Structure 1
Amino acid sequence: MRRAIVQNLRTFRRPSPRKALKGLRINGPGNALFQRSLASARSTRPLQSSMQLRRVSIPVALGVAAGGAYYAYQGQGSPGRSASSVASSYSAATSTGHTSAVTYAPSGTTTSALDNPNEVPEAVRKALVVEDGQLFTTQIPVGQTISKETDASGRKVLEMVDADQVTAKLRTNEESYMVGRGAGVVRYDVVQIPSNDPIEDDHVEKIVDVPSTTAASGPGQTSSDWMFWGVFDGHAGWTTSAKLRQTLVSYVARELSATYKTALSDASLTYPSAESVDAAIKSGFMKLDHEITHESVEKVLKAKTKSVAAEVLAPALSGSCALLSFYDSRSKELRVACTGDSRAVLGRRGATGKWTATALSVDQTGGTPSEDARLRAEHPNEPYVTANGRILGGLEPSRAFGDAVYKWSKETQDKLKNQYFGRTPSKYLKTPPYVTAEPVITTTQMDPTKGDFVVMATDGLWEMLTNEEVVGLVGQWLDKQGSSTRTSNATANGWLSSWFSSQKASQLPVEHHEQGDTSGQRAPIRQQQWGVSTGQDDRFVVEDKNAATHLVRNALGGSDKDMLSALLTLPSPYSRRFRDDLTVQVIFFGEGQVDGKVELNKEASATAASGAINGAADVRAKL
């Protein structure tokens, strides 16, 4: 969950290694090469670099800066020198904590044995340097190793992952399932990419086989399916999102079951009203949040032990947004319940053959006009109820599970803090609660014969791509899969037939492909921060069999291999400045094979151990 101010980045072209070496004087006992900042406060004149700075498509907001990386230069200096002795010299050269190992000399001055261009390796590897929110790359010779992960100036120095490692990272948590239930859904793909450690996002997918005594079925049917997909964007910890994965579907399904049974008990009704179904979903959300936020306090005060407090209060003190979709196979209605700023977008084929993007949720933050107006109406005469787009100037989402410091009274917070632990209440806290878990629900009539699809994702995706880009990318991916199927005369992917298009490969097959959005969603701010050229579809690639992985790859750089590698090289907590946790689900509606099974799609899955799951309790639950 993006909760910190994100710094921008800028890159610079630097001299080639050979030319740059002629402007360097090496001081100290070791031949350590160091790349200084062009705007360093410690230098009054610019330095030439011994390593060529490679371009990463990311701008820097804090000013012009380049980076530094110490590395052991095996084989340089005295003849016959061992790698271990080089490493020792490196340690000696940097142990003082100063950055004077390299000084500026006028161009053309011979200052070192390193001036011999024959000693500069032609083959290089890429290294990434992180300093105070700035990100840039350098090069190191093949066969050499970075001696330390942190240089003498405290900069993080990392060797960038290569293309194979990038793909491995992207696919580590991908899963795909083929749904042979004959109920309108044929496939769903999922992937997660962590930025926080541990990842604060979570997700759930569940098919509930509902008997006719609970939900009336069609002719000849004894049951129908309720299908749920959820993405949970945690913040201030992972415990709330984990709680939602474990329990939210059960809470909602229980409320829906009671509502459907009530409708069936009335002979004049065959289906509950839309209002009652929405009310059931909201009730499930609110009851779970009440358990997390308020019943937890009762348990702690009754138990009177810190161990119980640590376990029970964790989901209350952290928080999570929730985006839950509920599909009824009988009515063919998809309800999307949104609490927070995760987002769902529908892709539907238009009259021109291109896809259209329709948002099925609205981002709920302190900066959303409708949410700001609601909060100010509920808390009159409190000018800081929202400040800088955040609740009481702190929390960004205006709706969330947990986040009890925005829901508990000051007295409760003081009591828990004094007896156990907690946080100091905000000075603006007057009339809580300021944050609610009540979702906003939209209903969409799905038409499986037209091949609709829905993308659900945490805001880590939407701050990188627009709605139209996401839908166009899935359309592009479908075209590629369909082309492969036609070429190989394969029949296994017959479900793809309703998605085929004839758009040019270099263009996203989407209507109104524009930047920005006027329907309540925030624009993808990372595109501005990274200096991404908008409206250029050639920056996208199709390299993955999993549609969710395909979206993440293109969100993180697509054809810009340096940016993609850089963003996946960064470990936590450094990565959090440049990208969020990412959780993406892509749900494909259609009329596929009817065999009653839910099977693992092995070609687009990396984490499942078995080859097939036969529609039993492993992947679905009964009420």
Structure 2
Amino acid sequence: MAHFLSSIGLMPSDEEDSKAGYLLATFSDLHQVAAASALVAGGAFYAYRRPEPVQEASPTALGPRSHTTVSAATNLEEIPDAVRKALIVEQGQLFTSVIPNDEPISKETDDYGRKVLEMMTPEQVTQRLRTNEESYLVGRGRGVVRYDVVQIPSNDPIEDDHAEKIVEVPQDVAATQDGTASSDWMFWGVFDGHAGWTTSAKLRQVLISFVARELNETYRSALTNPAMTFPTAESVDEAIKKGFVRLDNEIIHDSVSKVMKAQSKRVAAELLAPALSGSCALLSFYDSKSKLLRVACTGDSRAVLGRRGTSGKWTATPLSVDQTGGNAEEDARLRREHPGEKYVTMNGRILGGLEPSRAFGDAVYKWSKETQDKVNSSYFGRTPSKYLKTPPYVTAEPVVTTTKVMPEKGDFVVMATDGLWEMLTNEEVVGLVGQWLDTQSKHPGSAPGGQNSWLKSWFSTQKAALPIEHSDTGPDAGGQRAPIRQQQWGVTASSDDRFVVEDKNAATHLVRNALGGKDQDMISALLTLPSPYSRRYRDDLTVEVIFFGEGEETGKVELNNEASASAGVEGVKAKL
């Protein structure tokens, strides 16, 4: 019986990953399925052929997918009625195949030495996408009505993390220029770890607290000044930056002092782990009284604002800039700080190694050589770069932007680690959320109070594929990198018809479409491939979508059951 193979256009990245550095290797410990017996030439997206001698796979990346073609010599009657899909990995290329349902899962390789994995079904794909989704309805009547979050790991364990917190500010701190009092401080953070998960976990635990402490002192200080009733914009920005830097100093420098004092390898293992790994950080701070949203970015995660334009469609405005060695401004800053050092950035990387130019941890780019030698000789560490001369080269100080949010117009913000932005443009992301909102507005929630009632007043039905206003300066202006995965996968960037709406959680909706949308073979292949091999095709994904609006005043933050995997799980409580 003939088996048929179809290339899905996925090619591994040519260069080592910017953070974890994984390489696609030969599969050796995987649960394998039986053979598919023909290899398709790399040029076509779907090309069915009769079994033929195995051919050498093309080493070059696949171009844009061609239309479906079927060889005239193919006997379509030979395709079995009951089949399962398989994923084949050969020389860095991924292919899909079909195998009969009754064929046993027994071989390590197929007849030609290729490694084969059984593909996830569409139902399994959906289950995987929704495993970590959360959604919260914010009934505090102060400008935020809902936020959704989801995570999809590629590394094992996932190196991303996230945190959310809503703080009810005391009256003696919240007083503003108009003399009124009482407000919420709302924080959302996404943390993109690299070289391990410990730094991002540390940020999840304490970064918001460090920043809130500095903000508290700044607001109180302003109130004690008779000439002021509200802190200056510059002082608020400085408070956020101070919170970031103080935490990183604790991670990098205080940890070494404590380890040297304790003289314990157990203490060293605990305290030095967040210093030796690293993490980018993206933190949004919303003051409900001023309606100002501040976005603090350290690294290459990204925040984008979605706002309705005059046409009724959405506009995409970046609220952060990707901070890497390839960013011209960051490169210039580093060369000013380290004059005469030719390799301060090389190939878009700091000292030729790390891609983010700002990050927490990453002690090998911050410790002096003497400190690194001392830590390495007494405990453990990482080998410093041969170009290390005048550290620190990497800083945790964020770049802070401020935006006046318009809840009455239904603004929303998407925050995500760079795994999402490698797959979608800013405009695609905002357009996808607009598409999702359009679909949800047609199906108001049936829960008490109507979970989706806040949608009705600010979305009119759009017939276009994505309801987005395209910028004259291009889909991604303002310092962000283009989605490299679209080229890697052979995706036509302008093809809006590849998207689909199937999820109640807006963040899950974005991830599904980032991984393939309507292309079931692509999304299944990307989720079937296990860690660490998946890392060459996709990164860890953490996505948050924050919806602003004029919602009902219930005083509560409640789990949104219809868009949360933990709905109905005993012991799960809403976050505050």
- Deviation (angstroms), 1:493: 1.6
Pairs aligned (count): 536
Q: Which residue of 2 aligns with 1:463?
A: 422
SS of the residue 1:231 aligns to: strand
The alignment status of 1:35 with 2:34, answered yes or no, reads: no
Residue 248 of structure 2 contacts residue 396 of structure 2 at CA under 8 Å; is this kept in 1?
yes
Sort the Cα spacing of 1:490 and 1:608 in 2 relative to 1 into closer, same or farther, 3 A: closer
Residues 191-233 of structure 1: CA distance to partner in whole angstroms, max 9, x if unpaired? Answer: 0000000000000010011101122169897631100000000
SS state of the match for residue 307, structure 1?
A: helix
Question: Where does residue 245 of structure 1 map in the other structure?
Answer: 204
Runs of 5+ consecutive residues of structure 1 not aligned to the other structure: 9-31, 41-46, 54-58, 65-107, 109-114
Which residue does the alignment assign to 1:309? Answer: 268
Q: Distance in 1 between matches of 2:371 and 2:112?
A: 45
Q: How does 1:523-538 map to 2 (within 5 A)?
A: 523-538=482-497
Is 1:479–2:481 an aligned residue pair? no
Counterpart in 2 of 1:97? none
Matched, 1:340 2:299: yes
Distance 1:413 1:485, change over 3 A: same
Question: 1:293–1:119: structure 2 CA closer, same or farther, 3 Å change rule?
Answer: same
Equivalent in the alignment of 1:387: 346
Alignment partners' CA distance in 2, 1:489 and 1:242: 36
Asked if residue 49 in structure 1 is aligned to residue 73 in structure 2, the reply is no
1:175 matches 2:134: yes
Moved more, 499-508 or 346-355: 499-508
What is residue 163 of structure 1 aligned with on the other side?
122
2:407 aligns with: 448
Structure whose alpha-carbon radius of gyration is higher: 1
TM-score, normalised to structure 2, is 0.87
How far, CA to CA, are the matches of 1:402 and 1:153 in structure 2?
Answer: 46
Give the Cα separation in 2 of the matches to 1:61 and 1:6. Answer: 20
Residue-by-residue CA offset, 1:438-487 (whole Å, 9 max, x unaligned): 00000001111111000000000000000000000000000000122399
Deviates more, 1:148-157 or 1:566-575: 148-157
Q: Is the 1:333–1:444 Cα contact (8 Å) retained in structure 2?
A: yes
TM-score of the two chains, using structure 1 as the length reference: 0.80
- Equivalents in 1 of 2:318, 2:486: separation in Å? 20
Offset of residue 307 of structure 1: 1.2
- Choose from 514, 520, 523 the match for 1:561: 520
Q: Are the counterparts in 2 of residues 322 and 401 from structure 1 also a CA contact under 8 Å? A: yes
Aligned identity (percent) is: 70
What's 2:11 paired with?
Answer: none
Displacement of 1:6: 8.9
Gaps of 5+ in 2: 1-16, 25-33, 43-48, 64-72
Match of 2:383 among 424, 431, 438: 424
1:213 pairs with one of 164, 168, 172: 172
Secondary structure class of the residue paired with 1:485? coil
- Name the CA shift for 1:269/1:117 in 2 (closer, same or farther; >3 Å): closer
Letter matched to residue 404 of structure 1: A
1:283 to 229, 242, 247: 242
The alpha carbon displacement at 1:163 in A equals: 0.7
The answer on whether the counterparts of 1:52 and 1:138 sit within 8 Å (CA) in structure 2 is: no
Amino acid at match of 2:82: A
- State which of 556, 568, 572 in structure 1 corresponds to 2:531: 572
| Distance change >3 Å, CA 127–CA 590, structure 1 → 2 | same
Residues 244-266 of structure 1 deviation map (CA, whole Å, 9 limit, x = unaligned):
00000000000000000001112
Tell me the CA shift for residue 153 of structure 1.
Answer: 7.5
For 2:418 and 2:546, the matched residues in 1 are separated by: 18
SS in 1 for 2:275: helix
SS in 2 for 1:330: coil
Q: Which residue of 2 aligns with 1:619?
A: 575
Structure 1 pair 167/149, CA: closer, same or farther in 2 (3 Å)?
A: farther
Q: Distance in 1 between matches of 2:139 and 2:62?
A: 55
Decide whether aligned partners of structure 1 residues 130 and 590 sit closer, same or farther in structure 2, where only a CA change above 3 A counts. Answer: same
3-state SS in 2 of match to 1:376: helix
Asked whether 1:605 is paired with 2:564, we answer: yes
Aligned equivalents of 2:111, 2:353: Cα separation in 1: 35
Partner AA of 1:206 in structure 2 = K
2:8 match: none
Q: 1:608 to 1:303 in 2, by over 3 A?
A: farther
1:332, 1:362 → 2: CA distance? 22
SS in 2 for 1:421: coil
Aligned equivalents of 2:253 and 2:264: distance in 1? 17
Structure 1 contact 323–339 (Cα < 8 Å) conserved: yes
Task: Look up the match of 1:194.
Answer: 153
What's 1:435 paired with?
Answer: 394
Aligned to 2:46: none
Distance (Å, rounded) in 2 between the aligned partners of 1:6 and 1:560? 26
**1:368: which partner in 2?**
327
Contact 2:35 2:99 in 1 (8 A): no
Q: Which amino acid letter does the alignment assign opposite residue 35 of structure 1?
A: S
Q: Secondary structure at the match of 1:373?
A: helix
Cα displacement (A) at 1:505: 4.9
1:323 is paired with a residue whose SS is strand
The SS at the match of 1:456 is: strand
Give the 5 Å matches for 1:59-98. Answer: 61=60
Superposition deviation, residue 300 in structure 1: 1.0
* More displaced 10-residue stretch of structure 1: 163-172 or 144-153: 144-153
Measured in 2, the distance between the counterparts of 1:199 and 1:250 equals 23
Mapping of 1:254-273 within 5 angstroms? 254-273=213-232
